[in-house]
Structures are given as C-alpha cells and as structure tokens.
Amino acid sequence: MPKTIAFYERNSDSFFDSTVTVDAQALYDQFLPLLPDHAHILDAGCGSGRDALVFLKKGYQVTEFDGSPSLAERASELTGLVIQCSLFEEFTSDHRFDGIWACASLLYGSQSFPVDSH
C-alpha cells in the first residue's frame, strides 16, 4: 500500500471529521458555472465525499473514487453513492464526464495523465 494511502487508512476518522464540514463554496462558485445543467462530475480523490454531496444536492450527477478504502466507505455512507476504491493511475470508467473535480487530491503524485478532448 502506498505511504499516502496508508496514512489515510490510519487517520480516516480524523480526516473525515476535519474535512466533511469545511465550506468550499468559493471553490464551487468558480467551478460549477463552467458546467452545463445536470452535468456529470467526476470527483477524483473524493476524500470525505463532502464536495460530491454538495454537487448532488445541486442536481448534478456524480461519480466518485478515492484510493483509501476507509475514506471510500465513509464517502459512500455520506453520499449514498457507490464509491470506487482506486488510485488515480488505476481509475477507469465508461462514463463521459463534463467536469473533473480534484480538490487537493493531486498534491500527492508527480504523475501526468493525458486528457482526451473528444
């Protein structure tokens, strides 16, 4: 298990508790106007599920994944969605997304991923 995931596994309760109620409205105000109504958002590295819950309540479709099994489970409990437990480089989906939300989750690697613009 990568060190970052091991950290989140050991600290999932405290991480969840410290992030689930953080107000990220200023960030949403920059992101959401760029999307069409009822857009499908990928919440990459969803953590507590806080952001996905906001998006769901605003009428968006959301797919989430997180590398930590414990956080994926907590996010699933919060949002009611099935959360895929996956690292960024392992994530796959047949869905097309209108936007990708990766709030603070790209800090942990130096991987770069190609974006298909089709």
pLDDT, tens digit (0-9, with 9 covering 90-100), for 57-93:
999 999 999 999 999 999 999 999 999 999 998 999 9
Token representation of residue 71: 């956080």
User: Which amino acid type is present at position 79?
Assistant: T
Report whether 74 contacts 12 (CB < 8 A): yes
Q: Where are the alpha helices (DSSP H) in 44-112?
A: 50-57, 69-79
Domains annotated on the chain, with CATH: 3-19+45-101 (3.40.50.150)
pTM recorded for the entire structure:
0.85
User: What letter does residue 47 receive in the DSSP assignment?
Assistant: T
Residue in 63, 49, 48 with CA at minimum distance from that of residue 16: 48
